Structure formats: structure tokens, C-alpha cells
Amino acid sequence: MQAYTVKSFDNYPISVHEFIPDSPIDKTIVFAPAVAVPQKFYFNMATYLSESGCHVFTFDYRGIGSSTSQRIQSLKDHGFLSWAQDFKAVSIYAKKQYTANIQYLIGHSYGGNSIGFSDAYQYYEKYLTIGSQYGFYKHFSTKMRILIYINFNFFVPITTRILGYYPSAWFGLGAPLSTKAAKDWSTLLLHPDSMLHFTKKQTEPYYEHIKKPMLLISIDDDLFAPKKSVDILGDHIYKNATVIRKHIRPSDYNLKTIGHFDFFRRKNQDILWPIINEWFQI
């Protein structure tokens, strides 16, 4: 594994880790993280895929994990659309490093939602998303609706106003976020247009250009991405792509729980990760 930085659109250094296989095949995989989830969370799966011969890249959005060259307060004006450009910069870099390779994407939650926030989609031949959803909170369970509404309608504005950032860890939601990123997350969840709200000022509707194969995975006990919201993502957002839906029930794999995160944990390497191998034909 090699660690270095890639410059984003405004020269902000984005932390990247590259997993180099001993016996390479012609495939590159880039991980697009969930909101507030550092790239190190994906290292076990990245190692596993590199051992299968793939060149694998993980990265942190600005202000997250190792991409913290500035204090989080100084990034107050940078949110989801800046993150989309960070993702694009890494996508371009990975493609330039291994030009002849087929390039694939694994998107977790927001990482799969945001594919259409820029034209970075053009660097990929296939996508796999896990827990990515049309985020409007009214598609969630009653309990989650209440928690989302209270947290993002009240605590986000209050904490960002007082602290100058959102202390996500206080609420069990990962790494601290800039004010802009936290407010964008609120919009993603509270606005009926969810992710489409961010594309209204785009000159090109990037989502409509995404036509390559996509495997959208939902998990029965994932409170952050209920099946209905993942169905909407596939039916209405990635409507021009070749979408395959897979809904996983933990009991079908003799598991008690998977939730929003356990698909990526090493304990499920032999149980769930073969789904990735099959989709990408590794």
C-alpha cells in the first residue's frame, strides 16, 4: 500500500492510498466513501481486491480522515460539490496511472449517490453501490424520520453556528464535517429532491448520461438506506443506466445483522465479498 496526495480542482491535497497487486490484472477499482467515513474503513476490502489482482484506490474527501491539511472551520464553504470534484480528481488520476485498465467504482452510501454530481462517471465501466439511496427522509422508517428531522433540522444549524463545524461523532455519525458539508447532508435528507437539488444549476444533467451497468445493493436491516429509497435511486435517478438491484437479507447468509456498514467488515469476507468478485468478474 502506498500513501500520497492528489491535487483537487483548487489544488487542495486529497489523501489517497493505492493498493498494488503482486499479480496485476487489467482492472482498477476506486472506492467512493460515505459521508464522514474515513478511507481506512475500506482498507480491508481494498486489500482483498488487490490480492485478487486489481489496482485499488481509496481516498478521503477534503476535511475527512487524512485529507485534513486545513482546520475544518476553514472549509466552511466546501461541501458535497467540492467533494464531487475531489472524487473526480482521484478518478482521473487512477485512470492516468493505468490507462489500459478497465476502471470500476464501489460507492458506499453518499459515494454511490454522488456519481452524477460531476462528469467523473465517464471514467468507469461498471458501478457497484452499497447502501446508496434517494435520501429524502420520508422514505425511511418512522423512527429514522424522527431522528433525521431532529438532528438535521435542529442540531446541525445549532452546532455549526456555535462551533463553526458539525461534530458528527457526538451523534454517532462519523468524522467532523464542515458547515457546508453538514448543511448539504441536511439538504440531501430533508429536501424532497434530495441529491437532485444539487444538480439544478448544472449546465449538463450528469445523471442522465450514466448508462453503464450498475449493481445497487440494499440490505434489509440497513436503517440508513431502506429498500424503498434504493429502489427510487435505481428507478428514477439512474434510470438510463443498466441497473441491477440486489436486496440482501442477513438471514439468507446466516447472519444476524449487516446494517449500513458490516458489508465492508473483514468478518464477512467469505460471505458477502464474493458478490463483488462476481459483479466485476474478478
* 105 in a structural domain: yes
Q: Secondary structure of 41-60 in the HEC alphabet? A: HHHHHHHHHHHCCCEEEEEC
Where is pLDDT greater, at 19 or 72?
19
pLDDT value, residue 203: 65
pLDDT at 1 over 70: yes
Angle at 95 between CA 210 and CA 10, to 5 degrees: 85
pLDDT-derived band at 200 (thresholds 50, 70, 90) equals confident
Q: How many residues does the chain have?
A: 282
* 132 in a structural domain: yes
3-state helix, strand, coil in the chain (%, to 5): 45, 20, 35
Cα–Cα dist 40/108, whole Å:
13
* 14 in a structural domain: yes
* 104 in a structural domain: yes
Give how many domains the chain has, as a whole number. Answer: 1
Report the range of poorest mean pLDDT among 10-19, 165-174, 209-218: 165-174
pLDDT value, residue 17: 98
pLDDT at 190 over 80: yes
Q: 216 - beta bridge partners?
A: 129, 245
Amino acid letter, 233:
L
State the Rg of the chain over Cα. 18
Report the range of poorest mean pLDDT among 35-39, 72-76, 256-260: 72-76
Q: With pLDDT > 70 as the criterion, what percentage of the chain qualifies? A: 100
pLDDT 10s digits, 104-145: 999 999 999 999 999 999 999 999 999 999 999 999 999 999
Q: Which domain holds residue 257?
A: 2-136+204-280
Single out the residue of 77, 69, 66 nearest to residue 3, CA to CA: 66
pLDDT-derived band at 73 (thresholds 50, 70, 90) equals confident
CATH at 91: 3.40.50.1820
Cα–Cα dist 240/221, whole Å:
28
Who's near 260: CB < 8 A, 6+ residues apart?
34, 109, 131, 219, 222, 223, 224, 225
Cα–Cα dist 205/77, whole Å:
23
* 176 in a structural domain: no
Q: Residue range 39-55: average pLDDT?
A: 98
